[in-house]
Structure 1
């Protein structure tokens, strides 16, 4: 089979979205980027590539950039995309299904791009609400004056996950991305007496799926059921306009896993993330 990896162009957008729609939960992040920004945009923080077989059929799509995401079940395509990504100075992380990432680790070492950190994760999904959970009417899209609080919390969470403080590397870029999410009404907060009790970022949202990151409960408020109530309240809002919700959680974070299970999330797939030296938020 002749390998054909090429940079995707705007005219291919409908075909790419149809390909990604085959697995909406797995592809919610990159599908949402295309819906928000188009197939070719600096706001994607990378470039989309396609893999076509000798007949010209699209068999794989990858975002090669700060966050490198590969969507294909073709092993030849996986290696071609990964090779392209690892030749670039951009990748900070390479994320995908665990079986896929395990196959690509050897290629990373051969190319001299040994990851500094490997996180084993779980992709969770939800499409219905648990019953009997008290509402949180105060949970709402964050106003502009919550920007600094959200930036600070996101930076702290990112550092705790992978040891890099994005505010020391790209403070203005991070601030701009959070501000854009707030403007899009995709950052949800509950503030009580000046304290940020809960926060969650809806990174992307389409009619098929929404992808959630940055779920936070203030340390002094944990163990009081606020996380469960707020995650359920968020789902009440989002599931009115999208078919499913998804998020990724570190396999070792048993407390978060228990929270998401109570909130109605179910295990969908095992994931892994390879972190490299570089920058990202």
Structure 2
């Protein structure tokens, strides 16, 4: 019997055609990595990390985004073991491991003995998809955020991030987080209801490809929660982003966040996959 040879190495621009084929096996689930690959063309100075490829007999079988986030792509069990060895050998320490639950949890089992308990393991996160406009009447107040409204929207972004992730996004690099929020506004990827200088609702497109985009940071002002604002507001966002960004809208949510899940279901999002996030 011939022995299968395998290797893990950092991918380069020469690997883009083969990597694109791998990512296109599941373009919605692999949206984040495809966005990073398309926007950086695997140039290290822009990527802020690497994308590793796992090869068997010279064929790209799996991949893994290794930067601030560790994100496995079409990862087999053998690939996960190889990626874990590479992570530990290169002393890579991301802030999170994110992706399909069936890949993230086995990868975390390999890393946890060396890294210790996770700060916040989120073991079941419905990945939800909507490929049409919502049946809910859209809230006409939702609109793209203007760059001169940065100082108005920014505190809501910080509040949402802190509430959701459990850490202050300014703790590491205040300028870095401010730059990211400004970038999303400039791209036309930030949407909100703003009245009298108060952010009532907001969300952003965090990543996009020609096929699909992913919403992040869905926020309703604490004083207004439970009043049915999120559904019509998200309906408006879906309509806007399908017109201007991509035809399919995705997001993922913590399984225990019942109010958010119900709101997304009312809008029309359907649970198609299950993600997991290990926050470190």
TM, length-normalised to structure 1? 0.90
Maintained 8 Å contact 2:61/2:74: yes
Q: Compared with structure 1, are the counterparts of its residues 197 and 44 closer, same or farther at alpha carbon in structure 2 (3 Å cutoff)?
A: farther
Q: CA deviation at 1:217?
A: 1.2
Residue 250 (structure 1) aligns with: 254
Q: Is 1:233 equivalent to 2:239 in the alignment?
A: no
Residue 50 (structure 2) aligns with: 47
Residue 62 (structure 1) aligns with: 64
Q: Map 1:37-116 onto structure 2 (within 5 A).
A: 37-54=40-57, 56-86=58-88, 87-116=90-119
Q: CA deviation at 1:210?
A: 0.3
Q: Compared with structure 1, are the counterparts of its residues 259 and 169 closer, same or farther at alpha carbon in structure 2 (3 Å cutoff)?
A: same
Maintained 8 Å contact 1:65/1:85: no
Q: Compared with structure 1, are the counterparts of its residues 79 and 243 closer, same or farther at alpha carbon in structure 2 (3 Å cutoff)?
A: farther
Q: CA deviation at 1:18?
A: 2.2
TM, length-normalised to structure 2? 0.91
Aligned residues: 274
Q: Compared with structure 1, are the counterparts of its residues 161 and 7 closer, same or farther at alpha carbon in structure 2 (3 Å cutoff)?
A: same
Q: CA deviation at 1:153?
A: 2.1
Alpha-carbon separation, structure 1, partners of 2:148 and 2:213: 25
Maintained 8 Å contact 1:85/1:91: no
Gaps in structure 1 of 5+ consecutive residues? 277-281
Q: CA deviation at 1:259?
A: 0.5
Q: Is 1:259 equivalent to 2:263 in the alignment?
A: yes
Alpha-carbon separation, structure 2, partners of 1:274 and 1:183: 30
Question: After TM superposition, where is structure 1 displaced by more than 4 Å over at least 4 residues in a row?
Answer: none
Gaps in structure 2 of 5+ consecutive residues? none
Maintained 8 Å contact 2:193/2:201: yes
Tell me the secondary structure at the aligned position of residue 230 of structure 2.
Answer: helix
Q: CA deviation at 1:150?
A: 3.3
Q: CA deviation at 1:185?
A: 0.9
Q: CA deviation at 1:43?
A: 4.0
CA RMSD of aligned residues (A): 1.8
Residue 160 (structure 1) aligns with: 163
Q: Is 1:17 equivalent to 2:14 in the alignment?
A: no
Is the deviation greater in 38-47 or in 178-187? 38-47
Tell me the secondary structure at the aligned position of residue 146 of structure 1.
Answer: helix
Is the deviation greater in 210-219 or in 110-119? 110-119
Maintained 8 Å contact 2:66/2:94: yes
Maintained 8 Å contact 1:95/1:274: yes
